[in-house]
Amino acid sequence: MEVEVVSKEFIKPSRPTPNHLKIHKLSLLDQFFPSLYIPLVLYYTVNEAEEATRKAKHILPLLKQSLSETLALFYPLAGKINDGLSIECDDEGALFVEARADFPLPLLLHQPDLETIAKLLPCPAAWAEAKAGDRVVMVQATAFACGGVAVSVLISHAAADCASFSTFLKGWAAMARKSGGAPHPNFDASSRFIPSKGLAEEDSMSAIYLPFLKTSRCGTRRFVFDSSAMARLKAKATNSQVQNPTRVEVVTALMRKSIVAALNKVSNLEKPVGMILPLNIRRRAVPSFPDDSTGNYVWVMTVLCSPEEKDNGLPDLISRYREIKDKVDGPFVKGFVGDGGSVMLSNAVREIGESFAGVQDQVTITSWCNFDHYEIDFGWGRPAWVSTVGFTEEMQNRPTDFVTLLDTKSRKGVEAWVFMGEHELHVLEQNEELLEFASINPSTLLTTHG
């Protein structure tokens, strides 16, 4: 299945950025996270051939015009990475690639092919670090033979976390629909989380990742928990101490348990695994930060997973997960605010490093659920599927094994995209408890209601 690039251009904001906003300061938490490009792909089907022909004539101009108008509001996203302190809002815009696929979209949706999905990106930079001079945002719109279209977006983590990414996409879609209610993103993060003029590497996320750098061949597996499996999994995860577990809680617990078992089996060593669980802190602040606060409003919870966890019940794991999450409360978040934030950050990173001493492997499980990705309608309906992207040959030096959780279309199930070494994935995909609830890379057409 081939994808051909038709054209490349830069979409500039519809109006210039005011001079006093030309340099966008990164916040302390922006500096903490690596500037990796986060990838997301939205797939839109068109069923009627006549309608497909009609819409194809205005889909691309509409995407470009509405993106231009949206970038005027999200002005740092029209800029380039300057250094570890700022983004230069030069108004050169976002890279926009137009591409054409020689096959119908339903073929890809019927049997998702991870290598083909990677071809839908504007460049092979997913999960790679954005360097000085790189654009903050890159987009590709791929037209399929059936009239369907895929919109893929890469955005640097330096400018946005997953919640901000979603705010941007929903704002872009609303602008395309001309539905009113334009977003009003807030870029005041640097006034809350005061940046450090020289954030030391030992105080960054890299310090947590680097001891566990993986150079072995990485693979990707997509495990899908549909609505019926989710109901059974929630029932298994419920007891008198753990009531009403969420989708994210039960899938995180099961993936955590299964991955620890796989890593220990491959290494033939019974050693603990360090687990990183990013958490949106907007609503954990007191008072809470607005949902349209743009930038990185995330902290990383950590837990040491013992080899014995393979024998633990899901309720026990969820109970521990809730205890850790409860520690990220109002006073904790307040510690990052103001001039004392850099000291708080340094102490927190040091504590994480000490807790992970002697750990052989590290895994990050991040949730992109409940960000309304399936509500992103540019004017021709909601997505048939939303995915991330697997690792390619260019992405082999990954900082850590990790798992990304996404909603299924019904929002009643969860897709778990797992990025690990091929040997570990081979063991993981044979885990009987995991396979009791999850299907490996099923057709998205079969999981529409899952």
Number of neighbouring beta carbons within 10 Å of residue 275: 26
Q: 3-class secondary structure for the chain?
A: CCEEEEEEEEECCCCCCCHHHCEEECCHHHHHCCCEEEEEEEEECCCCHHHHHHHHHHHHHHHHHHHHHHHHHCHHHHCEECCCCEEECCCCCEEEEEEEECCCHHHHHHCCCHHHHHCCCCCCCECCECCCCCECEEEEEEECCCCCEEEEEEEECCCCCHHHHHHHHHHHHHHHHCCCCCCCCECCHHHHCCCCCCCCHHHCHHHHHHHHCECCCEEEEEEEECHHHHHHHHHHCCCCCCCCCCHHHHHHHHHHHHHHHHHHHHHCCCCCEEEEEEEECHHHCCCCCCCCECCCCEEEEEEEECHHHHHCCHHHHHHHHHHHHHCCCHHHHHCCCCCCHHHHHHHHHHHHHHHCCCCCEEEEEEECCCCCHHHCCCCCCCCCEEECCCCCHHHCCECCEEEEEEECCCCCCEEEEEEEEHHHHHHHCCCHHHHCCCEECCCCCCCCCC
Q: Considering the candidates 90, 377, 423, 426, report the single residue annotated as catalytic.
A: 377
Catalytic residue check, 157 = yes
Strand partners, 417: 222, 404
* 423 among known catalytic residues: no
Amino acid of residue 182: A
Among 157, 203, 361, 373, the one annotated catalytic: 157
Supply the residues annotated as catalytic.
Answer: 157, 377
